[in-house]
Structure 1
Amino acid sequence: MSEHAMIFAPAPLLTVTVEQRAGRPDIHLHAGGQGVWQARMLTALGGRAVLVGGFGGESGAVLRRLLRKEGIQVCPVRGTVRNGVHIQDRRGGRRVTLVEAQAEPPSRHDLDELHNLALVQGIDAQVSVLSGPSPGDPELAPPDVYRRLAADLTANGARVVADLTGSRLAAVAEGGAYLLKVSHEELGAEHLAPTGSVRELAAVMRRLRTTSRQVVVVSRAEQPALALAGGELYEIVTGRMTPADPHGSGDSMTAGIVAGLLRDGDLKAALRLGAAAGAINATRHGLGTGGREAVERLAALVDVRAIDADLGHRVRLDREELAAWLTRD
């Protein structure tokens, strides 16, 4: 097993950004999407990323070339997949989306190929990361794909980290993923933690776990993140930073955690590195970006401390109850 991470990204996104430079439009092409941002930050931190995903059409060809230029190994499934394209205008100082061309859903055969390729690459990796499709593309990868992949990788000795929400999060929890990452905004949007209090979030974290061995991490924007490991609830305290663009900070946090697990497997050290990576990303305008030295210096200042949220009894849910609970209106 080599020291790298397999990142499952069903359909990466091509972003075309228009900026202003010397009074003229300045055009930039970037690979995007959750898995790409995670792979980019992991690479910046010295880790090696192998990205498994669907790549098709002209946008897919461009994406493969862009990712390889960044030092990210690409394992593509071409098939019938057509990658989405977003065109954004940032000349006014903020991100304005002009066009959103959504990806075309993969065929059943393509989904099987994605599962098999991710399984093979994940078994050979030290950590496997399951990332979600674009929020506007709910049909790109059904929850059952994630459940089977998490279960198969775990059964074959892989350590699975999942950064998902809704029914996909429920699926990987049931599949036995080692670490589940979600944001407090996502839990709030699903009416699971409407107030966002520590007590409320901690209760959700306990209910989400299907085994006591699973670790649950909840990012909370500028507030300290929370981590539930074993019987302990931890608060991850990072120094205050002035944000430039917080987009992608949660994915950078996930990548930092994975980078830490790749280094020595120590969970607390990985949580410190993840918190620092998320904070540094928020100070920059690129998604999933950050300098390794800055992240590691900040990580040394991050405090991971046990807290008491007075949680009461743990509630166990079966698979159907958990999926319904996570996706209720």
Structure 2
Amino acid sequence: MIYTVTLNPSIDYVVRLESLVTGITNRTTSEEYYFGGKGINVSCVLAELDLESIAFGFVAGFTGDAIEKGIRNDKIITDFIKLEKGISRINIKIKADDETEINCQGPHIDESELERLLNKVDRINDGDTLVIAGNVPNTMPDDVYERILERIKGKKVRIVVDATKKLLLNSLKYKPFLIKPNRQELSEIFETEISTETDIEKYAKELQKMGAQNVLISLGGDGAMLIDEFGEKHKQGVLKEKVVNTVGSGDSMVAGFIAGYEKEHSYPYALKLGSVCGNATAFLSGLATKEKINELLAKFN
């Protein structure tokens, strides 16, 4: 079974305007909403790839109810902890002359509620996959990722971590199966400008020395690079279509990689399917769909 953890899910409310003018009432030309959070995004794309997952995390209030109801289907089993106070976040994405985002904080999560999540993590067994993705809410301790991973220490679980700097670095001692920094995050981790392919490979291998098995680096318009557990380098380009939306592309890549490896146990194929899924999301207003994935898969080399 694949488990995903989203500590601070959200409803992403996307509003489109001709232009945004402060100090007056603005009228939208269209609006959409999506259920968000990096782990949730992974579960949603896995479902499009016909893989089942269990979604862990915290929800609260009427927005939490909407998130849970909105993502649940025959491939996504929701097992969220319902908080007694607060509401799950509504993030506002304004698309006008420029893109402006307002990301909210989310509900308070206390120690007893965190312990309830850790008890759920105890159910994860040998052969399962655990995906931890996204930032930690400011009401939770900084070591929450480590506490989650400590609960499965010693089990043969494929750990996937998609997080930034300290959260990522502190997870490496648990030897995650996959981490997915982008080029900028790689630069931030090592506090140096990383631009060339040689540098990307060099610093990805440094992360492997620190514990990561496979390092997948998303490179935006330049595609993606994988340094696999055997030290082999794999590259994948991108398709040329109009980019509609980049939110969730990285999560889609993670989902595609997991699915590709589950199906064929091949790192080149996992990278290919991950890249296809990342592209599919970029070319749609929401997350990758089965139809778009299959369309692009036929075009990818």
Is the structural similarity TM-score above 0.5?
Answer: yes
Deviation at 1:302, TM superposition (A): 4.4
Segments of structure 2 that go 5 or more residues without pairing to the other structure are 18-26
AA partner of residue 13 (structure 1): S
- Alpha-carbon spacing, 1:242–1:30, altered in 2? closer, same or farther (3 Å): closer
- Alpha-carbon spacing, 1:146–1:15, altered in 2? closer, same or farther (3 Å): same
Over residues 51-71 of structure 1, what are the superposed CA-to-partner deviations in whole Å (9 max), with x where a residue is unaligned? 100111232122112122685
Quick one: which of 42, 58, 65 aligns to 1:61?
A: 65
The aligned length equals 290
Contact 1:162–1:177 at 8 Å: present in 2 too?
yes
- Alpha-carbon spacing, 1:154–1:227, altered in 2? closer, same or farther (3 Å): farther
Quick one: which of 113, 125, 128 aligns to 1:126?
A: 128
Alignment-derived partner of residue 306 in structure 1: none
TM-score, normalised with respect to structure 2: 0.84
Deviation at 1:271, TM superposition (A): 1.3
Contact 2:176–2:211 at 8 Å: present in 1 too?
no
Q: Hey, what's the Cα distance between the residues in 1 that align with 2:173 and 2:138?
A: 20
Q: Hey, what's the Cα distance between the residues in 1 that align with 2:12 and 2:223?
A: 31
- Alpha-carbon spacing, 1:119–1:184, altered in 2? closer, same or farther (3 Å): farther
Over residues 99-150 of structure 1, what are the superposed CA-to-partner deviations in whole Å (9 max), with x where a residue is unaligned? 5431134111222222221331x3277321111237xx445462x2212333
Alignment-derived partner of residue 314 in structure 1: none
Alignment-derived partner of residue 186 in structure 1: 185
Contact 2:3–2:54 at 8 Å: present in 1 too?
yes
How large is the RMSD of aligned CA atoms in angstroms?
2.8
Instruction: Judge which range, 110-119 or 290-299, deviates more.
Output: 290-299
The DSSP-based 3-state class of the residue aligned with 2:225 is: strand
Contact 1:45–1:259 at 8 Å: present in 2 too?
yes
Over residues 270-317 of structure 1, what are the superposed CA-to-partner deviations in whole Å (9 max), with x where a residue is unaligned? 11100111111111111xx223244245346545xxxxxxxxxxxxxx
Deviation at 1:74, TM superposition (A): 0.9
Matches within 5 A, 1:147-296: 147-153=146-152, 155-190=154-189, 192-210=191-209, 214-229=213-228, 230-286=230-286, 289-296=287-294
Deviation at 1:93, TM superposition (A): 7.4
TM-score, normalised with respect to structure 1: 0.77
The DSSP-based 3-state class of the residue aligned with 1:55 is: strand
Identity across aligned pairs (percent)? 21
Over residues 64-89 of structure 1, what are the superposed CA-to-partner deviations in whole Å (9 max), with x where a residue is unaligned? 12122685321111245642221334
Instruction: Judge which range, 249-258 or 27-36, deviates more.
Output: 27-36
- Alpha-carbon spacing, 1:80–1:88, altered in 2? closer, same or farther (3 Å): same
Quick one: which of 25, 35, 39 aligns to 1:31?
A: 35
- Alpha-carbon spacing, 1:283–1:203, altered in 2? closer, same or farther (3 Å): same
Contact 1:81–1:106 at 8 Å: present in 2 too?
no
Matches within 5 A, 1:44-59: 44-59=48-63
Alignment-derived partner of residue 109 in structure 1: 112
Over residues 6-53 of structure 1, what are the superposed CA-to-partner deviations in whole Å (9 max), with x where a residue is unaligned? 101112112233358xx9765544211211221111111221121100
Q: Hey, what's the Cα distance between the residues in 2 that align with 1:244 and 1:19?
A: 13
Over residues 173-192 of structure 1, what are the superposed CA-to-partner deviations in whole Å (9 max), with x where a residue is unaligned? 11121111111122234563
Q: Hey, what's the Cα distance between the residues in 1 that align with 2:35 and 2:127?
A: 23
Contact 2:173–2:211 at 8 Å: present in 1 too?
no
- Alpha-carbon spacing, 1:24–1:241, altered in 2? closer, same or farther (3 Å): closer
AA partner of residue 65 (structure 1): K
- Alpha-carbon spacing, 1:241–1:70, altered in 2? closer, same or farther (3 Å): farther
Contact 1:53–1:114 at 8 Å: present in 2 too?
yes
